[in-house]
Amino acid sequence: MRNSREKNRQKLIKKLIFFNIYEKEDKQLYEMPLSKLEYEYRKFKLQTHPHGDFSSIQWV
């Protein structure tokens, strides 16, 4: 189980680095626990969602 958590952690780090996120709150990604990495990844995905801009469908 520990090995799978570490694999998930490494995968999230690679994804965040791909999006040019190398550190958060003065901490390197490699220093952050899995739960914090998951939170940062979800937050990034919500902020950069392709349907969140003005040119997307808006409910009135």
Instruction: In whole angstroms, give the CA distance from residue 8 to residue 57.
Output: 33
pLDDT digits (tens, 9 = 90+) for 27-36: 899 999 999 9
Helices (H), the chain: 2-18, 34-47
Question: Which tops the pLDDT comparison, 22 or 51?
Answer: 22
pTM for the model stands at 0.71
Share of the chain above pLDDT 90, in %: 43
**Could you tell me the sign of the dihedral formed by the alpha carbons of 23, 48, 14, 20, in that order?**
negative
Q: Residue 59 has what pLDDT?
A: 55
Can you give the residue ranges of every domain in the chain? Answer: 2-41
